[in-house]
Structure 1
Amino acid sequence: MSKKSRKKSSKTSSGSSTAKKKTAKTRAPTQAKSAKTQRTPAGKSTGTIAKAGSHKAASEQLNSSKTASPPAQAKSGPVEGQKAPAFRLPRDGGDVVTLADYAGRKLVLFFYPRADTPGCTREAIDFTRLAGAFTAAGTAVLGISADPLKAQEKFRDKHKLGVPLISDEKHEMLEAYGAWGQKSMYGKSFLGILRTTILIGPDGRVARIWRNVRVDGHADEVLEAARSL
C-alpha cells in the first residue's frame, strides 16, 4: 500500500471514530431527557392518586354529615303555661278562623309542612279518624300549613278530611307558635315548617307542646292528653 493510501485510510478511520463519538454524545442527552420525561408523568400520577384519595375522604365526611342531620330548631314560640298567641286566618271553605272562636274550649293545633305529602296525609287522616273522640272530649282540632286555600281544599277533598285546614301563607301563626324554623335536608339548611302540635286549655293557655312530631300514633297520644286535661 502506498503512503497516500495509508494516510487516506487513517483519516477515514479517524473520521469514522469521531462520528461514532458524536453520535454517542447525541444519544446520551436524548436518553437522559427521555428518562426525565418518564419520571415526570410518574410524579404527576402519584399526585393524582393522592388527590383522589383526599377527595374520597372528603366525600365520606360529607355523606356522614348528611346522615347525621341536626334536629330542626324553632325560631321562637310559647312555652307551656303561657297564653296562646292570638290568630286570625282563612280556612278551607272560605271562612275565617280566630283563637277567640274557641274561647272556653280545648283546642288542638297541628302544624304540618305540606298538604298531600305522605307524612302530612297520614297525620291529617289520623286526626280525622279521631274527630268524634276529640269532640266527645270537648276538644276542637285545626290543621295549619303555609299552603294556599286551593291546595288545602284539594287536600281535604282527596282524602275526605274532617278537620278544618288553615292557610298561613305569610307564616304569621307558624312563627308565633314556634312551628317555623331552621331545618336540614341532604346537608343543606333552610327555613320551613316544623311538624308541631299544640294543645290549648279552656283557659286559653298552652297546656302541652309536641315538637319534631313523629306521625305514627301521635293523634292518639294527643287525644289522651286532651282527655286528661
Structure 2
Amino acid sequence: MNQMFKNLNLLKRDMVQKSWTIDSFNFNYNRHKYIVLVKLFSRGANNSIKKIPKYASVKLEFLRSDDLSNSLSVFANSYKIDWKNIKQFREFFGIQYSANLGNIVQQFNNRFAKFIPTSVNPGKSIVEKLAMVYGLDGGNSKDPLRRYCYAVKRNPKGEKRSIYNDDKTKILREPLYNKLKSDDSLSFVYSINETDEKSDLEIISNWTTNNKQKTT
C-alpha cells in the first residue's frame, strides 16, 4: 500500500523530537489559501477528542487563511486522510459535484501530499501563529484574542503551567519561552490590547523586581 502521505510521519517525528504538539504549513487549492494544522495526540492534546480511530497518526485541521473560524478537521496517517463526509469535503474546498468525485479526491490528495513538509518550519507568519493558537486544545473562545504577552506570574503552590499556556507561549513568544520554560510554576500573562505588550527584557526585569520585593 502506497504511503502517499509519508511526509506526515517525518514531520511527526520531528515535532516529537522538538517537543511540539502542533505545527502548521500553507496549502493552496482551487484559488484559495489554507493553513493546515498538524496535531499530535500527546501531552493531553487529545483531551477534547472523544474517540480517536486506531489508525490515526495525527489530526489535520484545514483553516481558510482569510477566515480562521472556517475550518475542517480530519484524522490521517501516512496512507490516507479519512474524508468520511465527502459532501462536507467538497463544500469546504469549493469543489463542484460530479460523477467522478472519487478521482477528484485522489487528485486532491496527490496535490496536498506535495505540500506536507518533513520538518517543523520555524519561520511562521503571524497568521500561521494565530491559527496555531486558535487550534490549540484547552483554550476558550476569548483566549486566542489575548495574544500580547506583558508579564509572567507565579502559580499557586503546587500548580504547574497549563499545557495550553505553555504551547501558546512557545508559538507566540518563543525566545521568552526558552528563557523561562524550565520553571513550570510560572505562567505567561496575555492581553487583548497590543499596547500592553512588553519586550522580553521588560517582562523578565519586572518579574525579577517584583519577586525580590516579595522576598524582602
Higher RCO (C-alpha under 8 Å, 6+ residues apart): 1
Q: Same fold (TM over 0.5)?
A: no
Q: Give the structure with higher Rg (CA).
A: 1
TM-score, with structure 2 as normaliser: 0.22
TM-score, with structure 1 as normaliser: 0.21
